[in-house]
Amino acid sequence: MGGLSAERGVSLRSGRNVYQALKARGYNARKLEISSPDELIPKLAEVDLIFICLHGGWGEDGTVQALLDVLGKPYTGSEALASRLALDKLLAKETFVKAGLPTPPYFHPELEGEGWPAMALKEAERLGYPVVVKPRREGSSLGVRIVQGQGELEGALRETKEEFGDLYIEGFIPGKEVTSGILRVEGEDRPLPLIELRPKEGFYNYRAKYIPGATEFIIPAELGPETTQRAQELALAAHRALGCFGFSRVDLRVTEAGEVYILEVNTIPGMTATSDLPKAAAAAGISFEDLVEYMLKTVIKEKDKEKGGGRCPESRPGPSGSRPRRSASSSHWPMRPSGPERGSTT
């Protein structure tokens, strides 16, 4: 936990919560607060498994995951490639388009040369206002701006470029903001109950996500049964298209007509008191401690099957998934995870 990204504070809160849950369940857990991937190496000698609570930057873009793969240390969540695809919002959107999944129209401006602002303004006109300016590689809605007209756009682009570097412009989809947690249980990816997010001010930005009382959470989301099923199916499809493993959180927009659009996938969802994934799990009858143990047990079972020879159904998939499709049912959740003996976790 920790890191140096703008989401460091969220990471520390997530890590502390996960640590307390592991200790409560009898695991020999340790907290590792790091500021660079290299700090991990000397600390891993006596560690059996890593529970990653890093958010943003090299903690979530596949860097730490690739390092742990090289070192042969198992870890929770998606592998390096899926992590990279998900955090890079442009690569994720390209993957969704190739997979035939609905995502808002977008434009990636070249940020070099004197003419790029004019080209960006032209493309924004094509998309139609309002538009959304987003950093390419940030989480927690950091730097996201909804721009109502041309007069605001150039300033928003320059400020986002200066603070975050690369960016893209996305068409704004009016409607409800909905998020879908995905959790792997007994070898099957399952959607948790949908959450409708109603910020009390503006949109679901960083403040709305992490300031208690800033957002009203409607669980389950107030959607019709057909739209709910469609949203859960698309969330699963997005999770699989990127090759995610174990768990994720998929952000969606749902129009009044019931059209569902995939915004992005978060491979390391927050585990704070205000985070969406624990709230969705609670709505499914899964306590925070059980959620943490589900996230952990999937990796332990995979590790044990590998020791027995060959990969098993728990094996981590690649992008665009070659796994059999399953229905998006969130019913019949097991109430307590089961698995092998508890070892050393950090």
Write out the catalytic residue numbers. Answer: 7, 140, 210, 249, 251, 264, 266, 270
**SS3 call for 98:** helix
Kindly state the helix (H) or strand (E) to which residue 107 belongs, with its residue range: strand 106-107
Q: How far apart are CA 199 and CA 295, in angstroms?
A: 28
Q: Which two tokens stand for residue 70?
A: 């090289």
The DSSP secondary-structure symbol of 43 reads G
- Asked if residues 116 and 123 have their Cβ atoms less than 8 Å apart, the reply is no
DSSP labels, 56-94: SGGGTSSHHHHHHHHHT--BSS--HHHHHHHHSHHHHHH
**SS3 call for 15:** helix
- Asked if residues 155 and 303 have their Cβ atoms less than 8 Å apart, the reply is no
Q: How far apart are CA 284 and CA 95, in angstroms?
A: 30
Distances in whole angstroms, Cα of residue 67 to Cα of each of 24, 64, 72, 314: 29, 5, 9, 21
The shares of helix, strand and coil residues in the chain, as percent rounded to the nearest 5, are 40, 20, 45
Q: Which of 7, 12, 9 is nearest to 53 (CA)?
A: 12
Question: What's the sign of the alpha-carbon dihedral 236, 239, 244, 249?
Answer: negative
265 phi and psi angles, rounded to 5 deg: -125, 135
Q: How far apart are CA 267 and CA 217, in angstroms?
A: 21
**SS3 call for 125:** helix
Kindly state the helix (H) or strand (E) to which residue 252 belongs, with its residue range: strand 247-254
